[in-house]
Amino acid sequence: GALLSAVDLRKSFGPTQALDGAGMDLHAGEVVAVMGPSGSGKSTLLHCLAGIVQPDGGEVRYAGRVLSAMPDRERSALRRTDFGFVFQFGQLVPELTCLENVALPMRLDGLRRGPAEKLAREWLDRLEVGDTADKRPGEVSGGQGQRAAVARALVTEPRVVFADEPTGALDSLNGERVMRLLVAAAKESGAAVLLVTHEPRVAAYSDREIVVRDGKSRQVGLAAAEPARS
Ligand code: ADP
Ligand code: ADP
């Protein structure tokens, strides 16, 4: 079965119905792109799947459990151990070096500085930004910062990485480099990726695509897997 599922999700913000029966599956190790126009409900779907936003109706299931029915504390504990996050920008702590930023989740888990920073350095190298280790986020380029953010999202070996417009603040060359390295690192560590993007060139790095429109989702591009119509 699926590792993570959204089933018939509904979510309103006041009069705005952000999700109107959206559903999707994410299997272990796969990269799925969620596409659709601005305001269609993509981020809300991602936030519900990650347990950040509680749906008004429907269910989020993760690894055989109903995530949307868990108490807040249990959901946030699960987010720390099982999920990684990459956002458009502003996710690195400006006062820390890139190395300290990548080491931070491990330090918060109680790992000592030496081993945490050794592992952080390996991940920065893997994302081809080893030279940013001693610099602060404000001293590196946007693309370098995003690659350090990807390193930080993956260093805890999450089972699911949530990436909401991870290339949104980058030019296309840097965006593609971030995607190439994110997907390669996720595949290597066995993490699934839920990617929200409105850019087809970014979605092209996924294994399959879901389109969200007016709070409803549908699978695209799997014609061969659908039953033949007669
Ligand atoms: P997308 O990611 O596709 O741009 P969103 O999920 O961010 O779409 O938003 C879907 C709709 O819900 C939009 O109309 C947006 O303005 C609204 N919305 C999302 N989050 C909130 C919120 N926290 N409060 C009020 N409205 C929100
Ligand atoms: P995107 O289009 O990339 O999803 P948005 O600018 O729509 O980004 O939303 C950014 C953040 O603001 C999200 O966390 C979303 O939930 C929240 N948000 C979106 N629309 C509203 C709104 N009308 N009121 C309050 N928060 C909102």
Round to the nearest angstrom and report the end-to-end CA distance of the chain: 28
Mutate to test the pocket of ligand 1, among 10, 11, 13, 196 (most ligand atoms within 8 A of CB): 13
Q: Are 169 and 89 in contact (CB under 8 A)?
A: yes
Distance of CA 51 to the CA centre of its chain: 12
Given ligand 2 and candidates 12, 19, 42, 43, which is best to mutate, with the most ligand atoms within 8 Å of its CB?
43
Q: How close is the Cα of 44 to the center of ligand 2, in Å? A: 8
User: What is the average pLDDT value for the chain, to the nearest integer?
Assistant: 94
Ligand nearest to the CA of 14: 1
Residue 177 CA to residue 128 CA, distance in Å, equals 10
Q: In the predicted model, what is the mean pLDDT of residues 115-126?
A: 97
Question: 170 with 143: CB under 8 angstroms?
Answer: yes
Q: Which single residue is written with the structure tokens 């404000």? A: 138
Q: How far is the CA of 209 from the centre of ligand 1 (A)?
A: 20
Ligand 1, atom 24: closest residue by C-alpha: 13
Predicted structure pTM score: 0.87
Give residue 205's pLDDT.
97
What kind and span of H or E run contains 123?
Answer: helix 113-126
Interval 85-113 mean pLDDT: 94
- List the residue whose alpha carbon is closest to atom 26 of ligand 1: 13
Tell me which ligand sits closest to the C-alpha of residue 15: 1
Write out residues with Cβ below 6 Å of ligand 2: 38, 43, 165
In this structure, the residue with its CA closest to atom 22 of ligand 2 is: 13
- Chain segment 169-196, per-residue pLDDT in tens: 999 999 999 999 999 999 999 999 999 9
Sheet holding 208-213, edge to edge: 83-86, 160-164, 192-196, 31-35, 208-213, 216-220
Q: How far is the CA of 10 from the centre of ligand 1 (A)?
A: 13
| 184 secondary structure, DSSP code | H
Alpha carbon nearest to ligand 2 atom 7, residue: 39
Reported as a pLDDT band with limits 50, 70 and 90, residue 222 is low
